[in-house]
Amino acid sequence: MQVLKFGGSSLASRQEMEAVAKILVERATKAQLIVVLSAPQGVTSLIETLIQQAQTATDYTAQLDTWQTRCNTLLQSFDSRLSPAQLQALTSFQQAQAEQLQRHLQGIALLGECSNKVQARLMAMGELLSVRIMLALLASDNVRELPAEQCLLASGDYLNARVDIKATAKRIKHWCSENPFNIALMPGYRAQHEEGDLCVLGRNGSDYSAAVVAAAMQAQSCEIWTDVDGVYTADPRRVSSAVHVARLSYEEAMELSHFGAKILHPKTIAPLAQFRVPCVIKNTNNPAAAGTWIDAEGDHSLPIKGISTLEQLALITVSGPGLKGVAGISARVFSCLAQRDISVNLITQSSSEFSISFCVQQANVMAVKKAIRAEFELELSSGLIKPLNIQKNMAIVSLIGDGMLHQLGLAARFFASLAQAQVNVSAMAQDSSERTVSAVVNQSDCGDAVAVCHENFFTHMPSIDVFVVGCGTVGAQLLQQIKRQQQFLHKRNVKLRVYGIANSRQLLLAAQGIDLNNWQAKLSGAKTAFDFATVQQFVKRHHLINPVIVDCTTSTDLAARYADYIRAGFHVVTPNKKANTMAMDYYHEIRNAARAKHRRFLYETTVGAGLPIIDAVQGLQNAGDRLHEFGGILSGSLSYIFGLLEAGQSFSTATRQARELGYTEPDPRDDLSGMDVARKLLIMAREIGLQLELDDIAIEPLIPAEFDASGSVEDFMERLSALDDYYAQAQQQAQTNNAVLRYVALIRDGKCQVKVEAVAADNPLAAIKDGENALVIKSDYYQPLPFVLRGYGAGATVTAAGIFSDLMRTLAWQQQA
């Protein structure tokens, strides 16, 4: 004997029902079957809402229409499959159910209330419809209807009854002896209450119906047929990377279902475990798949089996210092709840001051308040117990697996993952079998919590979730490099995806990551402008856990918001020098935010483009080095211009050539003013601990103050030859002193200056030209010979590569947590 249960998702439409019939016909050739059927998907929920509406004097006619249409459309879909007589019989049956439902709803609306007994009778209608349709589809004398309300005996709440397996076994066996069958179709969810009326077994309770029948009949197995290939490491509807689990122990399955894995009703496993009946989860849409096997053994090779969530809970705390050490308080709390059939999902108790916290379904908060008030009336009025503390909109996130019993550090990793997801934990608990560890969190954080925990425990593929703002030369080059490297990184288990690209007018977002082959076209078609709140909502909605804003603009406004971005949980990576050269207070604010939020602010490319200068300086200082002096050529364009001067070119020709090759800013005055170099020097100065502002940098521009630098770029370039003699002479002078002219940035004795300087031939800076940058550091550790870093200090390729390597650093940070 085998028991097979098909859920609502397997009975949603004609197509699914026929698939079920096919499976049954095939299986019936091998074994005698008891088949438990749920209501067609959605039907029970529609009735539940109808009852609520009738009870609260809400107009329920539209909802009633929806229910009727749902059932009738399903019946009509069998038009070409069933005979007119069969269809007529089904239609009459459904009509009778509809009339019964309507009559009851009128009564409920009149009274303004509905007893659980009446509600049970109405809620369980859909199951009968499924059985009738399946009987018609199978149409054979060997197929019979097994009446659940005669055979399953239950007690307790009419809406959430518990089955007496022993009595049920007797009844079913008796029924079987009188009704020979090949396939017995039994409506799930329904049972007879010990008081004689019909009752139901709790929402989603057909799984439990199947389990009690399988236990009662000592079946070979109990198969639960649904719409997924079995149990996954998380709800596959919510976590796309969820991994299939081939085998579970009864205890693991029980914990998973208790803590919210909807695939099994929480009461299902206990009877199967008691009678040692294996449970198999199968997919109606993919019967060839092996499914998930649940038995006493389980699979010891996988320590953790899944993460589940229970939502719409309230966390309630009973506390009062006056009750410290008073015995029996918790027993009173929980028995007063049990008396009112309020089930508690999780309990934690403090050991010092008296305080007990527990989770209940949010819908039960009023009932809990009443129960506790009644039970502790005296203690509340005398102040021994404080008024209840109630936190609503909470959820429980649980990590489940037998391996937790034996393997150290799994719970620690769970809580570290929650910290990494920036999720605040309001309470925590470990079940006594040490198979489950649970955290109570705000429901709005639940998705993030599951995403990070799942990644850390199952997919082991850390992600970098990129949002590029500004896609000029550097931004575009970065996107190209990312496109090129995505596969390479994927092989190394890193998921690098660009979820957003923005320019000054448009913002493009894509939930699955942007296809970097044609982002330009997509971006130009984007309708909205960049707005951080939109990006933030996007990140929240898609549970991106390592979001990075890459600012490739030169915008001051954007730079002024970095601290906000970081406080919102984003890393910031940028070649934009503005933020680091604004007021010192803001400089500290960004870093404080980054420390507090465990996020990174990375700006390696603001000085020396791709050269790892910031990293080197931070590394030296961390190792206890003290910097004495810094000298550098920090501008690629000026490096190029002074190289040409050295080769005998005139100043104006050199500048023009640099401009034509794209080394200078579009307006070369931006380079020649010395301001760009001054900003870079300020960043270096602050990096080594000097508390300076931009005004504190002595800037000697390349254009003397008396030179007329006004007008258009072209006008300015025309006039530039007036400086040729001055620079030719200065270069000549330098050469006679065995030196060369360079535009140098210097930090010495706490003072910063940028200026044209004649650099002696033996100075490492003398060799720097052709767009190269160099940084020369003298320090405790590097003397008398200095530490020198040299290479191209400008250009989209090296700058983008530098940004790329900053992006990778956010990953190290993520893994550290």
Question: Which residues does the annotation mark as catalytic?
Answer: 680
Please give the C-alpha separations between residue 156 and each of 113, 151, 161, 212, 402, in angstroms, as whole numbers.
20, 17, 5, 16, 32
3-state SS assignment for residue 80: coil
Asked if residue 81 binds ligand ASP (CB under 6 A), the reply is: no
Residue 147 contacts which entry, Mg ion, ligand ASP, ligand ADP, none (Cβ below 5-8 A, type-dependent): none
3-state SS assignment for residue 233: coil
Asked if residue 44 binds ligand ASP (CB under 6 A), the reply is: yes
If you search the block for the tokens 């409920």, which residue do you land on?
Answer: 108
Q: Provide, rounded to whole angstroms, the least separation between the CB of residue 15 and ligand ADP.
A: 15
Asked if residue 8 binds ligand ASP (CB under 6 A), the reply is: yes
Characterize the bridge pairing of strands 306-319 and 355-361. antiparallel
Asked if residues 188 and 149 have their Cβ atoms less than 8 Å apart, the reply is: no
Element (H, E) at 743: strand 739-748
Asked if residue 97 binds ligand ASP (CB under 6 A), the reply is: no
Calpha distance 716→217 (Å, rounded) = 97
**Which residue blocks in 325-420 are alpha helix, DSSP H?**
329-339, 365-375, 377-381, 410-420
Asked if residue 205 binds ligand ASP (CB under 6 A), the reply is: yes
Q: Which stretch binds ligand ASP (CB under 6 A): 200-208, 315-323, 405-413, 780-788?
A: 200-208
Element (H, E) at 439: strand 436-442
The amino acid at residue 433 is: S
| 7 versus 403: smaller Cβ distance to Mg ion | 7
Asked if residue 39 binds ligand ASP (CB under 6 A), the reply is: yes
Task: Give the CA dihedral 150, 156, 159, 162, nearest 10 degrees.
Answer: -60
| 78 versus 189: smaller Cβ distance to ligand ASP | 189
Asked if residue 187 binds ligand ASP (CB under 6 A), the reply is: no
Largest alpha-carbon pair distance within the chain? 119
Asked if residues 293 and 334 have their Cβ atoms less than 8 Å apart, the reply is: no
Interface pick for Mg ion out of 2, 4, 7, 132 (rule CB under 5 A): 7
Interface pick for ligand ADP out of 7, 40, 126, 298 (rule CB under 6 A): 7
Calpha distance 305→437 (Å, rounded) = 12
Query: What is 105-126 written as a DSSP string?
Result: HHHHHHHT---HHHHHHHHTHH
> How many helices (DSSP H) and strands (DSSP E) are in the chain?
31, 30
Please give the C-alpha separations between residue 177 and each of 15, 32, 154, 173, 754, in angstroms, as whole numbers.
34, 13, 22, 6, 101
Interface pick for ligand ASP out of 2, 204, 357, 417 (rule CB under 6 A): 204
Q: Provide, rounded to whole angstroms, the least separation between the CB of residue 5 and ligand ADP.
A: 8
Asked if residue 262 binds ligand ADP (CB under 6 A), the reply is: yes
Q: Which stretch binds ligand ADP (CB under 6 A): 225-233, 319-327, 488-496, 594-602?
A: 225-233
Interface pick for ligand ADP out of 23, 199, 210, 263 (rule CB under 6 A): 263
Q: Which stretch binds ligand ADP (CB under 6 A): 93-101, 257-265, 500-508, 671-679?
A: 257-265
Asked if residue 291 binds ligand ADP (CB under 6 A), the reply is: no
Asked if residue 70 binds ligand ASP (CB under 6 A), the reply is: no
Q: Provide, rounded to whole angstroms, the least separation between the CB of residue 312 and ligand ADP.
A: 15
Asked if residue 266 binds ligand ASP (CB under 6 A), the reply is: no
For the segment 719-738, give every residue that binds ligand ADP (CB under 6 A): none
For residue 9, how many other CB atoms are within 10 A of its CB?
18
Q: Provide, rounded to whole angstroms, the least separation between the CB of residue 404 and Mg ion.
A: 26
Structure tokens at 534: 């939109």
Residue 189 contacts which entry, ligand ASP, ligand ADP, Mg ion, none (Cβ below 5-8 A, type-dependent): ligand ASP
Residue 235 contacts which entry, Mg ion, ligand ADP, ligand ASP, none (Cβ below 5-8 A, type-dependent): ligand ADP
Calpha distance 176→213 (Å, rounded) = 12
How far from chain centre, in Å, is Cα 120?
38
Interface pick for ligand ADP out of 2, 3, 4, 9 (rule CB under 6 A): 9
For the segment 174-213, give every residue that binds ligand ADP (CB under 6 A): 204
Asked if residue 398 binds ligand ADP (CB under 6 A), the reply is: no
| 207 versus 379: smaller Cβ distance to ligand ADP | 207
Asked if residues 115 and 51 have their Cβ atoms less than 8 Å apart, the reply is: no
For residue 280, how many other CB atoms are within 10 A of its CB?
18
Asked if residue 228 binds ligand ADP (CB under 6 A), the reply is: yes
Q: Which stretch binds ligand ADP (CB under 6 A): 21-29, 127-135, 233-241, 693-701?
A: 233-241
Residue closest to ligand ADP (Cβ): 7
| 238 versus 483: smaller Cβ distance to ligand ADP | 238
Calpha distance 136→145 (Å, rounded) = 11
For the segment 185-204, give every residue that binds Mg ion (CB under 5 A): 204
Please give the C-alpha separations between residue 748 and each of 66, 694, 745, 779, 781, in angstroms, as whole numbers.
81, 16, 10, 12, 17
If you search the block for the tokens 């049990």, which residue do you land on?
Answer: 338
Residue 632 contacts which entry, ligand ASP, Mg ion, ligand ADP, none (Cβ below 5-8 A, type-dependent): none
Residue 332 contacts which entry, ligand ADP, Mg ion, ligand ASP, none (Cβ below 5-8 A, type-dependent): none
Residue 205 contacts which entry, Mg ion, ligand ADP, ligand ASP, none (Cβ below 5-8 A, type-dependent): ligand ASP
Interface with ligand ASP by CB under 6 A: which residues?
A: 7-8, 38-39, 44, 126, 188-189, 203-206
Binding residues for Mg ion (CB under 5 A): 7, 204
Residues that bind ligand ADP (CB under 6 A): 7-10, 38, 204, 226-228, 231-232, 234-237, 261-263, 306
